[in-house]
Amino acid sequence: MGLIKKFFAQTRKPEGFLGSLMLSCMNLGHARGADWALDFLKDVSPSSIVDLGCGGGRNVKETLSRYPDAKVAAVDYSALSVERTRKKNARAVASGRLSVWQEDVAELPFGVRTFDLATAFETVYFWPDLEKCFAEVRRVLTPGGYFLIFNESDGVDEVGRNFEKIIDGMKCYTAEELTAALTSAGFSDVRIERRENKPWLAVIARK
């Protein structure tokens, strides 16, 4: 495997030096898109939030800032991502506002009806059995709770399709595929937002 392919493979489960470098790139590169997606939740006031696939922790920090009265849980199955998220948000961890978990989204360590909002930024590409994972997210949401997904690929753009060839296990979903999986998992009121001149998708589903 060439160095470039090894580097981009770190998007799936960051580890070691290349993984640390990738997390830094993610924190910088995904910020604008994540903030754009969060803007669609301006009228939502959650008291409990879970970020799934927290990566380098930048989006967790933004969420904590936008919802200063909320408690946040961050989840990633990469030990390095968990470490970086805790470090980047050390003050929130120390105050008890943030807890960070090394877990799999397919089996979340939380009870039913725990969170008012779940977020997933640039991560569902790697979730196995998408419908099952979406059902697990729905399980931990309160009635009326929201699930926000942000993808920089709309499933048909050339860049996303090229990354699928480079990164093993990556799948760029179309808006229709995401809507179908969310609906099958029991979500209602699935809304799709697109960014003009970019293949970005913000998907807002409600339990």
Supply the pLDDT for residue 82: 95
Angle at CA 27, nearest 5°, toward 22 and 30? 100
Q: What is the DSSP string of the chain?
A: --HHHHHHHTTTS--HHHHHHHHHHHHHHTHHHHHHHHGGGTT---SEEEEES-TTSHHHHHHHHH-TT-EEEEEES-HHHHHHHHHHTHHHHHHTSEEEEE--GGG-SS-TT-EEEEEEES-GGG-SSHHHHHHHHHHHEEEEEEEEEEES--SSSHHHHHHHHHSTT--PPPHHHHHHHHHHTT-EEEEEEE-TTS--EEEEEE-
Q: Give me the mean pLDDT over the 42-62 stretch.
A: 96
Q: What is the length of the chain?
A: 207
pLDDT tens digit string along 129-153? 999 999 999 999 999 999 999 999 9
Give residues with Cβ within 8 angstroms of 60, minimum separation 6: 51, 54, 72, 74, 85, 88, 89, 92, 98
Domains delineated in the chain: 3-206 (3.40.50.150)
pLDDT, mean over the chain: 93
CB 40 within 8 A of CB 204: yes
Supply the pLDDT for residue 3: 65
**Beta-sheet pairing, 48-52 with 115-121:** parallel
Biggest CA-to-CA distance, the chain:
47
Supply the pLDDT for residue 4: 67
Supply the pLDDT for residue 166: 85
* Cα–Cα dist 135/112, whole Å: 11
Q: Give me the mean pLDDT over the 56-82 stretch.
A: 96
* Cα–Cα dist 36/203, whole Å: 12
* Cα–Cα dist 143/160, whole Å: 34
> Is residue 164 predicted with pLDDT exceeding 80?
yes
Supply the pLDDT for residue 162: 87
CA 158 to chain centre: 22
Supply the pLDDT for residue 176: 98
Q: Give me the mean pLDDT over the 74-89 stretch.
A: 95
**Beta-sheet pairing, 141-151 with 98-102:** unpaired
pLDDT tens digit string along 13-22? 777 877 687 6
